[in-house]
Each structure stands twice: as structure tokens, then as C-alpha cells.
């Protein structure tokens, strides 16, 4: 085998092994930063958890800039209830697959009933470097992302 062919073989192996796989994604991650082209950068210091197994995921995070109210829900106004339970909280879980640098999430259960409708999916571009993962919204069953959002995560387990 010539040196050139040997080097080419090594480069191909490195390129293939450097791709994102379920094995590299599997674990527990926390959301550090959320950047939307529509709303700018928001650093998330609230609780969050992204869990990935071999084929399933679960995403739960508080998306507000400050802690959610712990007031008695019986005395909250409708706007306060929406802020606590709808606007500032994200939760969904289901299956996923990774192909060509993109992860496709297929929710089975979600906070929003419409999000878990059969046939719904979200695809995000995915990059994993060590204990850092970046997800950028790409498309969903309705078409390309209109205002892409970037999620920066750190592995915690």
C-alpha cells in the first residue's frame, strides 16, 4: 500500500469517526445559552435537563430569565399562570435519530398537545465537541426554521 493511499485511508477513518452519533450524544446535558435570531441571546441559568439514550430523548427546561413564581396557584391571575406554566417552561420527550450532521426529534409526549401530534418532528443541526453540544433549529414538519434558535449545552453526566 502506498503512503498516499494509507494516509487517505486514515483521513477517511478520522472523518467517519468524527461524526456525531447517538453514542456521543447519549448522556445528560444542561442548557447554558439559547440564542434566537428573532429574540437575541438569552443565557439560561434556570434548571434544565436534556437526556439522551441510544434512541430516546427527554427535554425539560425553564426558559425564563428569572425563577418562576412560587406563589399559590389558587391566587394567581390567568396571565401569571400562563407565565409560570406555559411561556416559561418547555417539556417534551420521544425518539430521535442522527443523520448527516442533523438530529431529528419525534415527540411522543409534550407539554403542548399539538407538539406531540402524530407526524410532528423537529430537525436541528448538531455539533458535539468534547463536553459541549450545539443544536441549531433547521426545519420541522411545517418547513424550514423561520427564525433559527441555537441551543448551547454542556454535558453533566
Tell me the average confidence (pLDDT) per consecutive run of 10 residues in the chain, 157 residues long. Answer: 46 47 92 84 84 97 85 94 90 97 97 93 96 97 93 96
Tell me the fold of 21-155. Lipocalin (2.40.128)
| pLDDT value, residue 2 | 54
Q: Residue 17 has what pLDDT?
A: 40
| pLDDT at 76 (0 to 100) | 94
Dist CA 63 CA 10 (whole Å): 43
Rounded CA gap, 57 and 16, in Å? 24
Nearest to 78 by CA among 89, 86, 66, 67: 86
Q: Which pTM does this prediction carry?
A: 0.81
HSE-CB for 4 with a 13 A CA cutoff: 0
Which residue, among 91, 95, 73, has the nearest Cα to 82 in the 3D structure?
73
pLDDT at 13: 38
Amino acid at each position: 500500500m502506498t503512503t498516499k493511499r494509507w494516509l487517505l485511508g486514515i483521513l477517511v477513518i478520522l472523518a467517519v469517526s468524527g461524526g456525531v452519533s447517538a453514542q456521543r450524544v447519549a448522556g445528560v446535558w444542561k442548557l447554558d445559552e439559547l440564542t434566537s435570531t428573532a429574540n437575541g441571546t438569552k443565557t439560561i441559568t434556570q434548571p434544565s435537563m436534556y437526556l439522551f439514550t441510544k434512541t430516546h430523548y427527554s427535554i425539560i427546561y425553564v426558559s425564563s430569565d428569572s425563577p418562576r413564581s412560587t406563589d399559590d396557584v389558587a391566587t394567581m391571575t390567568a396571565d401569571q399562570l400562563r407565565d409560570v406554566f406555559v411561556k416559561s417552561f418547555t417539556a417534551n420527550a420521544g425518539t430521535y435519530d442522527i443523520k448527516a450532521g442533523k438530529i431529528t426529534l419525534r415527540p411522543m409526549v409534550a407539554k403542548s398537545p399539538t407538539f406531540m401530534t402524530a407526524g410532528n418532528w423537529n430537525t436541528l443541526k448538531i455539533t458535539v465537541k468534547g463536553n459541549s453540544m450545539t443544536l441549531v433549529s433547521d426545519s420541522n414538519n411545517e418547513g424550514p426554521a423561520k427564525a433559527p434558535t441555537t441551543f448551547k449545552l454542556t454535558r453533566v453526566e
